[in-house]
Structure 1
Amino acid sequence: MSNPQILLKARPAGRPGPEHFEFVESAMPAPGRGEVLLRHRFLSLDPYMRGRMDDTASYAAPVALGGVMEGECVAEVLESQHDGFAPGDWVRGARGWQGFSAAHGSSLVKIPKDGGGVSHSAYLGVLGMPGTTAWVGVTEIGRPKPGDVFVVSAASGAVGGVAGQIARKYGCRVIGIAGGPEKCRYVKDVLGFDDCLDHRGDLPAALDAACPDGIDVYFENVGGPVQEAVLPRMRAFGRIAFCGSVATYNTRPLPPGPNLSILTRRKLTLQGFIVSDHPLAWPVWRERGAAWLRDGSLKFKEDVVEGLQNAPDAFVGLLEGKNFGKLVIKI
């Protein structure tokens, strides 16, 4: 048996395409002492991976040319050299766009064999990194209060959709921003946001109508023109949780940013954050989020693509907003 893998073949100067990836069949890995052999079942595709394709300094090391593309997986244990795991266990944390891996037990988190009432892939989304990111951004940076106007971009996405639902639980009036009427209907009718604005229309005018007295908290996932429309409408002492700016991930060189002098004039708090810097939040969110999933008050949507070989095209589509919900590859 061989190990299918997708490697980084070349570094894109802008938009990635099929020419930047290579599909290969490699030898099966063998687990050493303290390691387990894993069969990957689901692979998470996330916007941050675009930055890992560049050879630039960041919060995480770039993927080496010829190396396996980075990505978190849910996997099944096939063989174990670690006392804490046995064949048949399911885990989150296996790495890479590949079918199998050998990983040290200390890098893995065991998840319920039956999924605990949700799909195993949910541990890559609503109960994984995106859900925990939403929890940290809302509770630790946004610090919402009842009555706050809370705006979140990419509101139908894996992070934004959860962030807005959490803010609603804190008593905020939540306004989402998404691309197209179908996503906006989902954000309002399924996720329960108070309103959702289509950024493909006249977003400044729509924000003025939806938030006539301004915005208290902004959860930023997109950047670009959406950010430019939101910032001037922030209230004094507003808070901005800066999670990402997917609108510019494929742009080289980066465009000039908005006039940030408003941060001083309105005494705003703008904080960028990476969820890996908040390790204590992960178990807290898994417990809280799972409880809300069980009682039906937390909704999520997955966009599942079959086959590891389809990961490159799906990833390119993700960066262009073509997915609807948390994007995962079923291997």
Structure 2
Amino acid sequence: MVLAKKWIYAKAFSGLPTAENFRLEEETVAAIKDNEFLAEAVFLSVDPYMRPYMLQYPVGSVMIGGQIAKVLESKHPKYPVGSFVCGNFGWRTHTVCNPDEGELKPYVLPDFGKEPLSLGLGVLGMPGNTAYFGFLEICKPVVGETVVVSGAAGAVGSLVGQIAKIKGCQVIGIAGTDEKCEWLKSIGFDHTINYKTADIGEELKKAAPKGVDCYFDNVGGKITEIVCGQMNVFGRISVCGTISNYNSEAAKVTDPQRDYVWKQLKQEGFLVYRWKARYMEGIEQNLKWIQEGKLKYHETVTEGFENMPDGFIGMLTGGNTGKAVIKV
């Protein structure tokens, strides 16, 4: 008999999540059937998307999210005992899964070589593919262009900036502390702006006197309004997220639509699973860039499954640099 722990969405979010929104429960895991496997969580992910997405789920649901888990028992030939899988199992320690059911199938992690398994939730997982496909497929950067990344010190933004450098662009990162800005410079960003202390518009003019060609937007709100005002004609904007208003009751963003018309900008939002048929392409390319020393990563690790809400809330308030991960 296996006893699983799980975090329940106990109270609907209103503003920034608090401890009252979560409840820790236990349950006995059923014996596996044919074509199923039992997996035990090793690393769990906390990501910004969880805040708005959970509003679609009823109170009492298990919190959503991805994890790296070890297969303990298996009656499925493609998921052998001892293998490590990446799956959207939610905030739970043990999961019985039939991988042949559902649209987003778990997958056995490829060989990361000397790199840690936790990267399967970051640069070698969903955030890495979000940066890889979301930037390259939508912005289509050209050598010599200027790229701005908001939320630049996060799991996705930090990778977008480095991929832009690999593609020969000048990169400007916007982040929320001087420490994060210094880290971004250490991994190759040409310029950084601390949005909490600087005049973003003035600093952006200095860093990009000829304007901005590509903008990878993780935050929305006032920052995006300012960047759009300095986009070049035929600029491209990839909209990954709007974290600035995730904890608001209603978004209060000035409409920048005139810039889209007069400058003939192209803006496109996306979900990374648009490219699910090419998923391993992104993982393999990002791993190759890591091994070549072209792509660097950072993880902010919270120890203990019991501390998942703390790690989640800390990530939403900017407490992480790079990917936020929970280690069981």
Same fold by TM-score greater than 0.5: yes
- CA deviation after TM superposition for structure 1 residue 308, in Å: 1.2
Identify the residue that residue 280 of structure 1 maps to in structure 2.
277
Identify the residue that residue 311 of structure 1 maps to in structure 2.
308
- CA deviation after TM superposition for structure 1 residue 138, in Å: 1.5
* Residue 108 (structure 1) aligned to one of 96, 106, 121: 106
User: Whole-Å Cα distance in 2 between the matches of residues 328 and 281 of structure 1?
Assistant: 25
- CA deviation after TM superposition for structure 1 residue 72, in Å: 0.4
- CA deviation after TM superposition for structure 1 residue 105, in Å: 2.9
Counterpart secondary structure, 2:209: coil
| 2:299 maps to 1:299 | no
User: Whole-Å Cα distance in 2 between the matches of residues 291 and 131 of structure 1?
Assistant: 12
- CA deviation after TM superposition for structure 1 residue 45, in Å: 0.5
Counterpart secondary structure, 2:138: helix
1:259/1:85 Cα in 2 relative to 1: closer, same or farther (>3 Å)?
Answer: closer
Identify the residue that residue 37 of structure 1 maps to in structure 2.
38
Counterpart secondary structure, 1:46: coil
* Residue 80 (structure 1) aligned to one of 74, 78, 93: 74
- CA deviation after TM superposition for structure 1 residue 249, in Å: 0.1
* Residue 197 (structure 1) aligned to one of 193, 198, 216: 193
Q: 1:88 is aligned with what amino acid? A: G
Q: How does 1:1-331 map to 2 (within 5 A)?
A: 1-54=2-55, 62-106=56-100, 107-112=105-110, 115-189=112-186, 191-200=187-196, 201-331=198-328
Counterpart secondary structure, 1:117: coil
Q: Is the contact between residue 136 and residue 281 of structure 1 (CA under 8 Å) also seen in structure 2?
A: no
Q: 1:194 is aligned with what amino acid? A: D
- CA deviation after TM superposition for structure 1 residue 25, in Å: 1.4
Counterpart secondary structure, 1:74: strand
Per-residue deviation, residues 65-85 of structure 1 (Å, max 9, x unmatched): 211100100000000010112
Q: 1:32 is aligned with what amino acid? A: K
- CA deviation after TM superposition for structure 1 residue 115, in Å: 4.1
Per-residue deviation, residues 155-211 of structure 1 (Å, max 9, x unmatched): 11110111111111111111111111100010011x211111111121111101101
1:256/1:187 Cα in 2 relative to 1: closer, same or farther (>3 Å)?
Answer: closer
Q: 1:68 is aligned with what amino acid? A: V
Q: Is the contact between residue 29 and residue 37 of structure 1 (CA under 8 Å) also seen in structure 2?
A: no
User: Whole-Å Cα distance in 2 between the matches of residues 245 and 160 of structure 1?
Assistant: 13
User: Whole-Å Cα distance in 2 between the matches of residues 14 and 78 of structure 1?
Assistant: 39
User: Whole-Å Cα distance in 1 between the matches of residues 10 and 276 of structure 2?
Assistant: 33
Counterpart secondary structure, 1:314: helix
Q: Is the contact between residue 222 and residue 254 of structure 2 (CA under 8 Å) also seen in structure 1?
A: no
Identify the residue that residue 57 of structure 1 maps to in structure 2.
none
Counterpart secondary structure, 1:278: helix
Q: Which runs of 5+ in 1 are unaligned?
A: 55-61
- CA deviation after TM superposition for structure 1 residue 328, in Å: 0.7
Using the aligned pairs only, state the percent identity: 39
Aligned residues: 322
Q: Is the contact between residue 64 and residue 88 of structure 2 (CA under 8 Å) also seen in structure 1?
A: no
Name which of structure 1's ranges 172-181 and 235-244 shifts more when overlaid on structure 2. Answer: 172-181
Provide TM-score, normalisation by structure 2. Answer: 0.95
User: Whole-Å Cα distance in 2 between the matches of residues 43 and 30 of structure 1?
Assistant: 23
- CA deviation after TM superposition for structure 1 residue 318, in Å: 1.2
User: Whole-Å Cα distance in 2 between the matches of residues 94 and 272 of structure 1?
Assistant: 22
Q: Which runs of 5+ in 2 are unaligned?
A: none
- CA deviation after TM superposition for structure 1 residue 94, in Å: 4.5
Q: 1:78 is aligned with what amino acid? A: L
Q: Is the contact between residue 43 and residue 73 of structure 1 (CA under 8 Å) also seen in structure 2?
A: yes
Counterpart secondary structure, 1:69: coil
Per-residue deviation, residues 214-234 of structure 1 (Å, max 9, x unmatched): 000000001122112111000
User: Whole-Å Cα distance in 2 between the matches of residues 46 and 257 of structure 1?
Assistant: 26
Identify the residue that residue 59 of structure 1 maps to in structure 2.
none
User: Whole-Å Cα distance in 1 between the matches of residues 41 and 108 of structure 2?
Assistant: 14
Name which of structure 1's ranges 121-130 and 81-90 shifts more when overlaid on structure 2. Answer: 81-90
1:149/1:238 Cα in 2 relative to 1: closer, same or farther (>3 Å)?
Answer: same
User: Whole-Å Cα distance in 1 between the matches of residues 180 and 313 of structure 2?
Assistant: 19
Q: 1:109 is aligned with what amino acid? A: Y
